[in-house]
């Protein structure tokens, strides 16, 4: 019996030829040119200079998981990253994972819920947390980049330990939620006994734009989010703020980045009761157009000096002002997702918000100072709390036949 591949289904349906071409030659042409098509036909190459899922146009859905490493055997960790990379490459290509899928008496290697679904621009991005380098048996202490350490306590933190940290992370993004879920589920299964899932997060809608080809989405506050985000096409900004180059740390991380995740719970009931004016003053943008206060177009420049009746047009504590690169001098690539996890047990309110993800060259020079400023002064703090936090070093991409983290673990 010939194995079903999702790509083959797609071919036989006579669509998505462009997506296939890109997938097949993705390594040569680079991920930048791989389109994340919302119709599911997009294929993003797993192998490349950088890991996919950073400069890939943000897909609509997320399943993110952080794992604790149970083993301190370097060989086991290496084998895990080899197997994970192989499976991730198969899944992003729209293929079933593993060899045993048709054996009557054996559980299939692939759990099967994506059979018949399109590749849906799946990307799988791996990261290593600071805890990995603290495990003595692994002997990685000397390879820990200086910029990879637990974040300091930050203002407005209300962290839950079981929703924070992790030794290894998997960020699966796709235009189909089931494809993203399948990726995390199958990697968790492959890792059984070596890693245990510590926490995971589903994101149902992107809240960031990472490509000029995309419109700015709205977050759950109804505000456009990510207007001023770095666009992947802006390679100068990517190199300056996101990608690690020679000399940025140990050689193994060259071509990689650092990821910070924050589970930000939004107090939506309170937000919804505040007036339109309050909402706009809090953010510093008009709700519907997304334009800075006083402007009319989303992309009007942010004029932080503008005054009205002697007062700043954009309030001193408005979110856009405090987050602006004009104030901080630093930028980050945001790639977050809206989430909901049902009902907050103790309040009977929506347990929902923003699963914030950002990439940068140094979290301590980029995310941390920005958040210190925001956490202290941001008018938005009245409506949010940070309940989960994690930081990971994201290794560069793998070459075909290689695996993510090879530079560190080989």
Interface residue with other proteins among 4, 15, 29, 70 (CB under 8 A) is 70
- What is the closest distance, in whole angstroms, from the C-beta atom of residue 341 to other proteins in the complex? 17
Q: Is the distance from CB of 298 to CB of 224 less than 8 angstroms?
A: yes
**SS3 for 311?**
strand
Q: Among all chains, which residue has been given the structure tokens 């998981």?
A: 65
Stretch that binds other proteins, among 4-12, 31-39, 103-111, 331-339 (CB under 8 A): 103-111
Q: Which is nearer to other proteins, 49 or 99 (CB)?
A: 99
- What is the closest distance, in whole angstroms, from the C-beta atom of residue 291 to other proteins in the complex? 47
The yes or no reply on residue 341 touching other proteins (CB under 8 A) is no
Stretch that binds other proteins, among 55-63, 104-112, 255-263, 270-278 (CB under 8 A): 104-112
- What is the closest distance, in whole angstroms, from the C-beta atom of residue 105 to other proteins in the complex? 4
The yes or no reply on residue 160 touching other proteins (CB under 8 A) is no
Distance (Å, rounded) from C-alpha 66 to C-alpha 94? Answer: 23
Residues 6+ apart with CB under 8 A from 270: 382, 383
The yes or no reply on residue 1 touching other proteins (CB under 8 A) is no
Q: Which is nearer to other proteins, 28 or 105 (CB)?
A: 105
DSSP one-letter code for 151: P
Structure tokens of 388? 């989960």
Burial of 111 (0-12, 13-18, 19+ CB in 10 A): middle
Distance (Å, rounded) from C-alpha 377 to C-alpha 360? Answer: 23
User: For the chain, give me the number of helices (H) and strands (E)?
Assistant: 12, 12
Among candidate residues 120, 252, 241, the one with its CA nearest the CA of residue 178: 120
- What is the closest distance, in whole angstroms, from the C-beta atom of residue 98 to other proteins in the complex? 11
**SS3 for 235?**
helix
Interface residue with other proteins among 12, 106, 136, 348 (CB under 8 A) is 106
- What is the closest distance, in whole angstroms, from the C-beta atom of residue 194 to other proteins in the complex? 9
Q: Is 239 left (phi over 0), alpha (psi -120 to 50) or beta?
A: alpha
The yes or no reply on residue 131 touching other proteins (CB under 8 A) is no
Distance (Å, rounded) from C-alpha 386 to C-alpha 274? Answer: 21
The yes or no reply on residue 189 touching other proteins (CB under 8 A) is yes
Binding mask 194-213 for other proteins (x = CB under 8 A): --x-----------------
The yes or no reply on residue 99 touching other proteins (CB under 8 A) is no
DSSP one-letter code for 150: P
> Total number of residues binding other proteins (CB under 8 A)?
11
CA 166 from centroid of its chain's CA atoms: 15
The yes or no reply on residue 104 touching other proteins (CB under 8 A) is yes
The yes or no reply on residue 100 touching other proteins (CB under 8 A) is yes
- What is the closest distance, in whole angstroms, from the C-beta atom of residue 193 to other proteins in the complex? 4
The yes or no reply on residue 103 touching other proteins (CB under 8 A) is yes
Q: Is the distance from CB of 19 to CB of 13 less than 8 angstroms?
A: no
- What is the closest distance, in whole angstroms, from the C-beta atom of residue 409 to other proteins in the complex? 21
**SS3 for 234?**
coil
The yes or no reply on residue 137 touching other proteins (CB under 8 A) is no
Rg (CA), the chain: 21
Stretch that binds other proteins, among 1-9, 127-135, 187-195, 273-281 (CB under 8 A): 187-195
Helices 177-190, 74-92: axis angle to 10 degrees equals 150
Q: Which is nearer to other proteins, 28 or 162 (CB)?
A: 162
Q: Which is nearer to other proteins, 170 or 259 (CB)?
A: 170
The yes or no reply on residue 236 touching other proteins (CB under 8 A) is no
Which spans of this chain sit near other proteins (rule: CB under 8 A)?
70, 100, 103-107, 189, 192-193, 196
């Amino acid at each position: 019996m010939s194995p079903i591949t999702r790509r083959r289904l797609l071919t036989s349906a006579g669509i998505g030829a462009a997506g296939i071409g890109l997938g097949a030659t993705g390594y040569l042409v680079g991920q930048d040119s791989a389109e994340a098509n919302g119709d599911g036909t997009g294929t993003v190459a797993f192998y490349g200079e950088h890991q996919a899922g950073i400069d890939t146009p943000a897909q609509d859905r997320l399943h993110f998981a952080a794992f604790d490493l149970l083993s301190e055997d370097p060989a086991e960790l290496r084998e895990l990253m080899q197997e994970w990379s192989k499976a991730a490459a198969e899944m992003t290509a729209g293929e079933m994972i593993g060899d045993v899928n048709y054996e009557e008496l054996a559980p299939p290697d692939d759990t099967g819920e994506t059979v018949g679904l399109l590749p849906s621009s799946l990307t799988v991005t791996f990261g290593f947390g600071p805890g990995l380098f603290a495990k003595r048996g692994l002997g990685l202490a000397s390879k820990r980049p200086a910029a990879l350490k637990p974040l300091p306590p930050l203002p407005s933190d209300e962290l839950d330990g079981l929703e924070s940290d992790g030794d290894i992370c998997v960020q699966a993004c796709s235009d189909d939620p089931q494809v993203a879920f399948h990726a995390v589920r199958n990697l968790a299964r492959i890792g059984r006994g070596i890693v245990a899932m510590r926490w995971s997060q589903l994101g149902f809608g992107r809240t960031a734009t990472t490509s000029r080809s995309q419109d700015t989405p709205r977050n759950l506050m109804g505000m456009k989010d990510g207007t001023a985000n770095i666009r992947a096409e802006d390679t100068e900004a990517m190199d300056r703020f996101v990608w690690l180059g020679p000399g940025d740390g140990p050689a193994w991380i060259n071509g990689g980045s650092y990821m910070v995740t924050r589970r930000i719970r939004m107090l939506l009931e309170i937000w919804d009761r505040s007036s339109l004016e309050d909402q706009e003053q809090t953010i510093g943008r008009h709700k519907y157009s997304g334009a800075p206060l006083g402007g009319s177009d989303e992309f009007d420049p942010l004029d932080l000096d503008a005054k009205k009746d002697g007062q700043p047009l954009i309030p001193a504590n408005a979110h856009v002002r405090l987050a602006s690169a004009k104030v901080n001098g630093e930028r980050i690539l945001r790639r977050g997702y809206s989430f909901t996890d049902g009902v907050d047990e103790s309040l009977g309110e929506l347990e929902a918000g923003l699963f914030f993800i950002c990439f940068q060259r140094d979290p301590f020079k980029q995310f941390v100072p920005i958040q210190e400023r925001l956490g202290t002064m941001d008018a938005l703090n009245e409506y949010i709390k940070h309940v989960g936090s994690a930081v990971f070093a994201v290794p560069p991409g793998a070459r075909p036949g290689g695996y993510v983290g090879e530079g560190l673990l080989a």
